[in-house]
Amino acid sequence: MELSITDRAVERIREIRDEKQIPDSAMLKVGVVSGGCSGLTYDLDFDTDIEVGENDKVFDLNGIKILVDMKSFLYLAGTELDYTDGLNGQGFHFKNPNATRTCSCGESFSI
């Protein structure tokens, strides 16, 4: 299973890069860390000095390079990264088929 990203998320990532003058060579690190009301939370961050580990997964999705460490990938396989700016909250949202429970804000989950 892979990761996927919506066109809206790609557009917003590019806007953020432009606003913060982040070089196109920077990878978007996507991970899972302990925390949130459901036990696990998503972590997104740009990094220009990434050393890709032997077991890390790198995806090139619509021109966005995404790095996921293997531990996080076990939780994220098959996940779609989306961006919304609607009434339910502006921001990135993860559609994770592995999550058995998510909080109402969508920022944390459990498996």
Each residue's pLDDT tens digit, 69-105 = 999 998 899 999 999 887 666 888 888 888 776 655 5
Looking at residue 106, what is its pLDDT?
A: 53
3 state SS of 61: strand
CB atoms within 10 A of CB 103: 14
From the list 85, 105, 110, 87, the residue with the least C-alpha distance to 96 is 110
- Tell me: pLDDT of 15 over 90: yes
Give the torsion sign (CA, 34, 35, 39, 44): negative
Mean pLDDT of the chain: 84
Please report the pLDDT score of residue 105 as a whole number.
Answer: 52
Nearest partner of 47 among 69, 32, 25, 68, judged by Cα: 25
What count of residues does the chain have?
Answer: 111
Average pLDDT over residues 38-50: 83
User: Residue 109 above 70 pLDDT?
Assistant: no
Looking up tokens 């302990």 gives: 34
